[in-house]
A and B are shown apart, each in its own frame.
Chain A
């Protein structure tokens, strides 16, 4: 391994890590949004005013 190949390997690894981190965070976010949407569909809207509930 010489300087040229090490430099390209480091650069591609850094870019790949950034993309991978982004993809994993996207997947987590998608699950979170899907769960929230499902909750919003299942939970009936409350009839009590918030001040009364508090």
Chain B
């Protein structure tokens, strides 16, 4: 029997993990020491680099979750559901951090932690969609049924993505649309988004592999139970 899973699966021994960690260190150095200080808001404007990166991660996570959910509904292969679940979990983490970092920025820029502004509201709705999907998934034991329900809900949840992206253009709100940035700021923002995307992709890959391993363990346990010798009395 080939070993599909390494015995020492701690990420500390994973060179890819260290590479991703180095990218995050690089982006931190760029954000705090290379990006110029913004004239109006001062240092606190640096929250934007993190905020944009996690917001992108949340939207990408929701998109991947929806697309993989649809792929499961078409092909009926659980492998697609593992991708969907993994991307959704990381996307949910990003959606949470988007709300937290956005709130902190709003407090400094607008003087309030929260306002029912179109993009903020659409982002909160996306967070609740993620939460609802995972709550429902956790209540279903059968993996195929769970994947089917998750796929349908992820597809429905995807409808909020264009709303989040276009909210600043379609509706009148206070959220900045695409503020003019100094070239050095734009470069730092771009590199930060790339670095954080690498981290999120890495986490999704690790989580997907873990879900696959959990399914394998369940199958092994089931087969071990089926072939277990029966004691004779």
Tell whether A pairs with B.
yes
Chain A interface residues (CB < 8 Å from chain B)? 2-4, 6-8, 10-11, 14-15, 18-19, 22-23, 25-27, 29-34, 36-37, 39-40, 43-46, 48, 50, 53
Which chain B residues (178-229) contact chain A, with CB distance < 8 Å?
199, 203, 206-207, 210, 213-214, 216-217, 220-221, 223-224, 226-229
A34: chain B residues at CB < 8 Å are: 7
Per CB-CB distance, the 7 closest pairs between chain A and chain B, nearest first, are: A26-B9, A53-B230, A36-B220, A7-B104, A30-B9, A23-B11, A4-B44
Interface residue ranges, B against A (CB under 8 Å): 1, 3, 5-12, 28, 43-44, 46-47, 50, 54, 90, 93, 96-97, 100-101, 104-105, 107-108, 199, 203, 206-207, 210, 213-214, 216-217, 220-221, 223-224, 226-230
Count of A-B contacts judged by CB separation below 8 Å: 105
Report the separation of the CA atoms of residues A25 and B107 in the bound assembly, to the nearest whole angstrom. Answer: 37
Q: What are 18 A-B contacts defined by CB distance under 8 Å?
A: A3-B47, A7-B50, A10-B100, A14-B97, A15-B93, A19-B11, A22-B207, A23-B10, A26-B10, A27-B8, A27-B10, A29-B5, A33-B213, A36-B220, A36-B221, A45-B227, A46-B227, A50-B226
